[in-house]
Amino acid sequence: MGTWGAFLACRTPADPRSVWPEAEIWGEPVGGWALVVTGLEERSGLAEALAALPGPALAAEIYDSDYAYVAGAVDGNVRWEVLLDEATAAEDGVAVPETPAADDPALHERIAEWAAGYGTAVARAELRRVLAAEHVFVDDTLHELARVLGILDPAAAPPQGGDKVGPEIEIRFPADVWVERQDAVAEPLDALAGELDAEVYEHPAEPDGQTLALLTTGPLVPDEVLRRVAAHLRDLGLPPTVRIRPDDAAPWRSIADC
C-alpha cells in the first residue's frame, strides 16, 4: 500500500515534464523548482532523466515506501547519491547499489556543496539528522530532504504519494502487556485493519514497550478512526495503560480516554 514512484525535480527554465510528460506535480515547490512524480513503470531511467536536464536536478525512486534511491546532479552529471533506509532494502533481498552510507560526512559535504551551487545554504548537521530519520514511510524522509534543500516549501504539509492517503494511528503497548497479549491481539487487530483498508506495522521493539502503526489508505477522519481503534482495543480487554495517538506528532492518550 506504499508508494511505488519516481520523482524528478529541476529549476526553471528547465521543465521535468519535458523528460516525463505524463508526470504530475508533487508538493509545493519553491525557489524556482518544479517537482513531479510518476509511476516506476511509466518513465525513463533516472540517469537518462538527469542527463536531459540542464542546471541542478534531483531524482528519486521510491519502492513501496520502504526505501528510496536519491541522486543530485548538475548539467546531467551526478554529484551525489544515497539509498534511504538501506537496511530495509537489504532485508528485502534487493540488489543494493553501491552508494555512500546515509551517515557518511563526505556525503553530507557533497550534498551541501551541490545545494550551495544554486544558492541554498544547508547545514551538515541538518543533513545528518534528516538522512538518519526513521520514518515509517521513506516518502517522509524524501519530503523532509527536499524541504532542507530548498526545493519544497518548509511550511507545507507532506504531500501524499501512491496510496498513502489515510490517517496513521499509533498504538503503544507497555512491555508486560505486549509480552502477555501480543498473540491474542494480532488476529483481531489484523481483522480491524482489513475493515479499515489498512496495514499494521511494528516499530522497532524498545525495552519499555512496543509500538504498532495502523496505516490506513482511505479518506478517513483521524478522530473517528482513533475512537474506533481504541474501542476495539478496549473490547479485547486491554488495560488503560495501552496508549494511542492519531499520528507521531500528537500526544499519547489512554485507550480508556478515547
| pLDDT for residue 204 is more than 80 | no
Using CA atoms, how far apart are residues 64 and 87, in angstroms rounded to an integer? 14
| pLDDT for residue 244 is more than 50 | yes
202-229 mean pLDDT: 78
Confidence of residue 93 (pLDDT cuts 50, 70, 90): low
Confidence of residue 220 (pLDDT cuts 50, 70, 90): low
Beta-bridge partners for 25: 36
| pLDDT one-digit tens code per residue, 42-88 | 566 888 999 999 999 999 998 878 889 999 999 999 999 999 987 77
Confidence of residue 237 (pLDDT cuts 50, 70, 90): very high
| pLDDT for residue 221 is more than 80 | no
How much is the pLDDT for 213? 83
Confidence of residue 230 (pLDDT cuts 50, 70, 90): very high
Q: What's the mean pLDDT when you consider all of the chain?
A: 85
* Share of residues in the chain with pLDDT > 70 (%): 87
215-221 mean pLDDT: 62
How much is the pLDDT for 257? 92
How much is the pLDDT for 24? 85
Domains detected in the chain: 5-148 (no CATH), 168-257 (3.30.70)
Count of other CB atoms within 10 angstroms of residue 204: 7
How much is the pLDDT for 214? 82
Lowest pLDDT segment from 15-24, 104-113, 222-231: 222-231
Burial of 216 (0-12, 13-18, 19+ CB in 10 A): buried
| pLDDT for residue 130 is more than 80 | yes
| pLDDT one-digit tens code per residue, 164-198 | 445 678 899 999 999 999 888 989 888 888 888 77
Using CA atoms, how far apart are residues 132 and 74, in angstroms rounded to an integer? 25
| pLDDT one-digit tens code per residue, 96-122 | 668 888 889 999 999 999 999 999 999
* Degrees to nearest 5, angle at CA 107 with 205 and 11: 110
